[in-house]
Structures are given as C-alpha cells and as structure tokens.
Amino acid sequence: MKKNPPQGKFSSIMDVLNGFILDGILGNFKEDELKLIHRNLKNIKDLVNVKKSIFIFDRGYVGMELYARIIELNSYFVVRLRKEVL
C-alpha cells in the first residue's frame, strides 16, 4: 500500500544579518503563500523596526497587495521577478 507523505507550506521572515528566523508559519500545502506572508508581517510588527528594514522576496511573490502593505508600513522591499514578467 502506497502512503502519501505529509505535505505543508512554510513561510518565514528571516534576519539575514544575524542568521535567525523572526517568524515562521507552517501551513497547509494548499494555503496561499501571500496569506502566509501577511501573517508573518503581522507577527513581527513588535519585534523589528520595519521602517529600517528591507524585505527581500524570491520569485513567486508577485502580489501588488503585498507591496502596498509594505509601503503602508513605511518600509522597503526588493523582489526578484521571472523573466516573463518583465
């Protein structure tokens, strides 16, 4: 009998200068990544000064509402886009 392995989706915000995760969420593998990152942002609001932070996103975070939320927080971000998006 074949068993399917457990599946999940992990979203985190990491302090790359100090090398540790500020917030991590393990969600259902079907859950939208953008919803998870919004929860991450909410969870770290009291841990870091987002006005002095730069959020770096890998491909796949093409979400204008996410960018608007970061701008609303008076913070900065960098996103690596797929070639096809340009």
What pTM does this model have? 0.77
Residue 15 CA to residue 23 CA, distance in Å, equals 10
In Å, what is the CA distance from 70 to each residue of 45, 47, 66, 77?
11, 16, 6, 7
28 neighbors 8 (Cβ within 8 angstroms): yes
**Tens-place pLDDT, residues 52-63:** 999 988 766 667
Per-residue confidence band for 26, with pLDDT thresholds at 50, 70 and 90 = very high
Q: Is 44 left (phi over 0), alpha (psi -120 to 50) or beta?
A: alpha
Per-residue confidence band for 21, with pLDDT thresholds at 50, 70 and 90 = very high
What is the average pLDDT score of the chain?
87
Q: How many helices (H) and strands (E) does the chain have?
A: 2, 4
